[in-house]
Structure 1
């Protein structure tokens, strides 16, 4: 399974098609991921950890499910060159203010909010399950002190790990000055909950368990089950099985009446 950024897909897609043709196999799946570079790296590590324990089709489905359980984005000085996330005309114009600042989120939702001086910092759209750990990568001179004082208290992370700038970070954020972050849950069941939330079906062609309408390996169209399965934190929370229906008393057929020996066939 090959992960590649959806916002820079031309070269990876050609390489994946070449590998499938050279190896003459449909067991090489290309998975487009619409995440920032730091969140992309975390997702790749999580999938690599789960890969030995799950079928390949479920690992491919988790590439869409896991980003819904993290908070990823960046603290930016301007968004005038940001093309990977939707912005408004007002935000574009405000980028030219010398004291402008923005919070741009790419997971679990794509959202950009302006940070105004003297006003409360916009609340993040999602908070991972406690305890929360955070990875932070700063590039250029993005006023990291303002990020530390205004945004980190909202996340309430138990630990923050600084990392070097990620490859393609400036291209994704449209700026060489940013603080990229990704917050995720360090709970012992943080990875098992997303697995239980997937409702797979068996691919009609390659027999891989898949959750998407089209198999990421062979490309066959499938009809995924409707709805999502319930998630339970512990086995004790599983609902009790339904009581069996009471068995009906079996009614024996009535025996035919005995023939009268005094009457013969010529009587």
Structure 2
């Protein structure tokens, strides 16, 4: 059976992108349901699929993430990968769907879980906001804060990959992807056609689909007056080629094939990416200052191709 991809709410389980996209396993209300009930659900997923990747939004309550760690510890399982990317909720939902697409391919569990960190770099996520007074995820100038109190003000904000904030106007624009993408849009309590009528054509989006707004979006953006958007790679063949083009290594701790410098299942890094042992003063005739200045530089493998 393919690796299971789980999300922490039904609103993060976007409709399938194609006929090969696997359904998401939904683990709702983790912080409010009895622990034994959650344990039983996760155990069933492990029995059916072997490995489980749980994608969680950074806007989820801290109790949700603690519960996931508790479940993983109580099951004493290294077959559960917990992934909480630095993306807005709609971006998290898009990333989870990309992993669901790739789960139908011949990727090993370790490579599939590691792919989440790689694909994050190719997601452009932002929102059109009616106010930035409570926005703390993106740097906001004092001038923008002041203008947010003016009636009718709207702001275009890009949260990832590079933060950007502009007040909406005739010439307002955001830096977009330099490759072909599709776009999803989720409307909150804000009325505007700027995202679909101006931004999507400017970014040359090759497809646009509207989806329900994730429940955690208002908390993440600091306002319910928003329209959230996300540009992403949508074709399975492109996703697969991107992931398989990255050099794979074997995790020295759990033995899974991985890409990048971190095993998402056991959190181990390759030995050459860890801190080197302290030098032995008796190993050579150099003094301490000379050893510090001439010591080998640390190297890490790049995550992207």
Which range, TM-score by smaller chain?
0.7 to 0.9
User: Across the two proteins, how many residue pairs are aligned to each other?
Assistant: 226
Q: Is the 8 A contact 1:61 1:198 kept in 2?
A: no
Equivalence map 1:144-163=2 (5 Å): 144-163=192-211
Q: Unpaired runs of 5+ in structure 1?
A: 232-267
Cα drift, residue 230 of structure 1: 9.7
**Residues 148 and 13 of structure 1, relative CA distance in 2, 3 Å threshold:** closer
Residue among 92, 100, 108 paired with 2:153: 100
- CA deviations over 1:150-205 (Å, ceiling 9, x no partner): 32321222332122221211111111111111122345632024303533321111
Q: Unpaired runs of 5+ in structure 2?
A: 1-52, 274-298
**Residues 43 and 188 of structure 1, relative CA distance in 2, 3 Å threshold:** closer
Partner-residue secondary structure (3-state), 2:121: helix
Residue among 154, 165, 187 paired with 1:138: 187
CA RMSD of aligned residues (A): 2.6
**Match of 2:228?**
180
TM-score, reference length from structure 2 = 0.66
Q: Does 2:110 correspond to 1:57?
A: yes
Q: Is the 8 A contact 1:77 1:178 kept in 2?
A: yes
Q: Does 2:129 correspond to 1:76?
A: yes
- CA deviations over 1:214-234 (Å, ceiling 9, x no partner): 432223342358555996xxx
Q: Does 2:89 correspond to 1:37?
A: yes
Equivalence map 1:221-240=2 (5 Å): 221-222=269-270, 223=272, 226-227=300-301
**Match of 1:204?**
252
Q: Is the 8 A contact 1:69 1:128 kept in 2?
A: no
Structure 1 stretch displaced more, 144-153 or 177-186: 144-153
**Residues 138 and 24 of structure 1, relative CA distance in 2, 3 Å threshold:** same
Distance of 1:230 and 1:157 partners within structure 2: 23
Cα drift, residue 22 of structure 1: 2.4
Distance of 1:230 and 1:126 partners within structure 2: 16
- CA deviations over 1:98-140 (Å, ceiling 9, x no partner): 232212122332x13213434x1223242432xx322111111
Q: Is the 8 A contact 1:87 1:112 kept in 2?
A: no
Which protein is bigger by CA-based radius of gyration? Answer: 1
